[in-house]
Amino acid sequence: MSERERPEGERSELENFSIVGETAIGWDAKTAPNETVDEEGRIVPSGGFGIHDPRAPSRRVYEDPEVVAMREEFRAKNGWKAIEICAPHELKRIARIFRRDGYVVVKDLLDTETLERFREGCTRVLRDILAIPGFEGRKYITETGRLPHRYSYGTASASRHMMHDPVWASMIDLPTTTPILTEIMGSPDYFVSGGGGDLALPGAIEMQHLHTDGIDMGANPDVRLDYARSVGLVDIPDDKAFADLDFRTQRLVIERTPPSMTINFVMTDLTWENGPIRQIPGTHATVASPPKPEDEPDWMRFAALVGAPAGSGVFRDHRAWHSGTPNLSKEIRCLPNLEFVPPWHDERHFMKSMPHDIWETLTPHGQQICRHIKQDSGVWPFGAGVMHPLAGGRKAAHKASKEAQRN
């Protein structure tokens, strides 16, 4: 497939858009519904994070009758009737809801200045992702393995993370988030494992399939028990090993020790039509798989976090079922994130995605929790700073970066 010359109008759109407010970005009618591509941009069948939505409209057009009908259905049904939103100081309540549901929404995490800095960073990086013209008349290149008009800041980065970017790094140790993470983890000695986040352009008409961000196989049960016991997450006598516990208590230990979690920061108010994240409560504690898109009941389909305000955050246990929903609006929906793991996480599984110079700008606590992802002084993380929607482009950039530093 060959790239095309981008028309002046599209160049102007890219130069002037913002992730805040209405935009001309998105709604590319030439990108077919459910169209997914491989690492070189070739159209391929459904798979990966591009599992097809059988209920998607037949055209990616804002005023198409099927889109209008979908918009009216979502206006009537989308969102929990009473979403629980906590304030940052409600630490015990936040931790209780997180452990009960597998996620919790907390408002007022970002002040006006910090929110604006994150918005500007998200806009800048998205401009890089969309800079390469699409193939055969399409406005944009679809990200490898994803549904059209959906991108990940993390996987679109040739380093797989955004920890080379000062904006993402500046959110690591906020006065609002650090006490919450400490309460949930039971200790301040957790670690940052990376960061990126999800976004949906206007016209992302497909419902993303329900999925987890990590399957918990129950590894290291005795290590998890010792940790949970030491920080007060469970009340179990010291002479008991994991194998000595009954099944219910074993499940409690596993549930209380998530292997990883995320904060998705909300850049603009999540509405019924702009593609808010949906979360299925309690699924962090199940070993079952999510239903296929065609089998989802309505209560799951419309379980979006409508009402989460700009500046808030969604603290998510990676095991909980979730997905993006259709963006039927004219606004970009961005949820940049940071990812965290507990103190017992295996050090061999960290990626060194943060430049040493960025690490040196962090607070002492920020440096402590990022020490496993920082590169050595004078070594740039392979691929960091290159954004490309296609896996082939990212691999090439990663390889070139590695070879350049060897030479």
- Predicted confidence band of residue 234 (pLDDT cuts 50, 70, 90): very high
Question: Is a pLDDT exceeding 70 seen at residue 2?
Answer: no
| Burial state string for 134-169 with b = 16 or more CB within 10 A and e = fewer than 16 | bbeebbbbbbbbbbbbbbbbbbbbbbbbbbbbebbb
pLDDT value, residue 4? 57
CA distance linking residue 174 with residue 39, whole number of Å: 36
pLDDT value, residue 6? 74
Question: Is a pLDDT exceeding 80 seen at residue 230?
Answer: yes
Its pTM stands at: 0.95
pLDDT value, residue 3? 52
Angle of helix 91-101 versus helix 178-185 axis, rounded to 10: 50
Q: What CATH number labels 8-216+258-406? A: 2.60.120.620
User: What letter does residue 274 receive in the DSSP assignment?
Assistant: B
All CATH 2.60.120.620 domain ranges of the chain, comma separated, are 8-216+258-406
Contact of 227 with 342, CB cutoff 8 Å: yes
Give pLDDT tens digits for 162-193. Answer: 999 999 999 999 999 999 999 999 999 999 99
Question: Is a pLDDT exceeding 80 seen at residue 1?
Answer: no
* Paired strand residues for 263: 315, 338
Question: What is the arithmetic mean of pLDDT over 88-114?
Answer: 97
Contact of 300 with 209, CB cutoff 8 Å: no
- Predicted confidence band of residue 49 (pLDDT cuts 50, 70, 90): confident
Q: Please indicate whether residue 360 or residue 13 has the higher confidence score (pLDDT).
A: 360
Question: Is a pLDDT exceeding 90 seen at residue 404?
Answer: no
CA distance linking residue 154 with residue 148, whole number of Å: 17
DSSP string for residues in 6-75: PPHHHHHHHHH--SSSB-S----TTS-TT-EE-TTS-EE-S-TB----TT--SS--TT-HHHHHHHHHHH
Question: Is a pLDDT exceeding 80 seen at residue 265?
Answer: yes
Question: Is a pLDDT exceeding 90 seen at residue 8?
Answer: no
Angle of helix 247-256 versus helix 221-230 axis, rounded to 10: 70
Which tokens sit at 282?
């309690």
| Burial state string for 177-200 with b = 16 or more CB within 10 A and e = fewer than 16 | bbebbbbbbbbeebbbbbbbbbbb
pLDDT value, residue 406? 76
CA dihedral 269, 166, 385, 403 (to 10 degrees): -150
pLDDT value, residue 236? 94
Which 3 state secondary structure label does DSSP give 303? Answer: coil
pLDDT value, residue 51? 93
pLDDT more than 70, % of the chain: 99
